[in-house]
Amino acid sequence: MCISERLRQVCEAKNWKITDFAEQTGIAYRTMQGYIGGEREPNAEGMAGIAKAGVNLNWLVSGEGEMFQAVTPKNTISEQEEKLIADYRTMPENLKDAFAISFKEISEKQ
């Protein structure tokens, strides 16, 4: 089985039309149509878009493994958390120790 056939399987599994798949990947409709029709194979940018839609690229290329990537929760942090971490990293070690003690005390009181 080739990549175009596996891409068709993805559409069937998700009940997507080519337009739906193109939207999920950020790939132009005509380009996706070419991939699914077997006129061309995805380049690196196409593969990245297909992966963005949750397709397991190992399966897409080789047929091995699961069709879709395992869903992993994204660990996102807020802008405020990023700033706190950046500030913390610039502190001298003794100040980092003081903050660690303070944060532990605060969290135990809640």
Question: What are 10-58's pLDDT values in tens digits?
Answer: 999 999 999 999 999 999 999 999 999 999 999 999 999 999 999 999 9
Mean per-residue pLDDT over the chain, rounded = 90
- Which amino acid, 55? V
Angstrom distance (rounded) from CA 67 to CA 62: 11
Q: Which residues pair with 52 in a beta bridge?
A: none
pLDDT at position 74 over 80: no
Q: Which residues pair with 68 in a beta bridge?
A: 55
CA-angle at 59, arms to 17 and 54, nearest 5°: 50
Confidence of residue 73 (pLDDT cuts 50, 70, 90): low
Q: What is the pTM of this model?
A: 0.64
Asked if 2 contacts 38 with a C-beta cutoff of 8 angstroms, the reply is yes
Q: In a 10 Å sphere around its CB, with 0-12 CB exposed, 13-18 middle and 19+ buried, how is residue 55 labelled?
A: buried
